[in-house]
Amino acid sequence: VMYDGIMAYGDPSFPGMLVCIYFIILFICGNYILLNVFLAIAVDNLADAESLTSAQKEEEEEKERKKLARTASP
């Protein structure tokens, strides 16, 4: 596609080089945005996993408290 864009402006002279620079910037920005999306998803999943484990720990502690309360009071 970049080659066709360069040739649409004639040859790899000045206007063709602007097309080349445009595609390079487009490629870099596209990769940056895609990387940010994947990292945001990964961080969100890690945060969810952490909150789930803390919720499970709280549930286990609550069960242990209830168990101790039942055994302590006859």
* Predicted structure pTM score: 0.57
Q: What pLDDT, on a 0 to 100 scale, did the predictor assign at position 36?
A: 97
pLDDT at 73: 64
pLDDT averaged over every residue in the chain: 84
**What CA–CA distances, in Å, run from 60 to 49, 68, 72?**
17, 12, 18
Q: Which pLDDT score, from 0 to 100, does residue 67 have?
A: 82
3-state SS, residue 52: helix
Q: Tell me the percentage of the chain whose pLDDT exceeds 90.
A: 26
pLDDT tens-digit readout, 50-74: 777 777 788 888 888 888 777 766 5
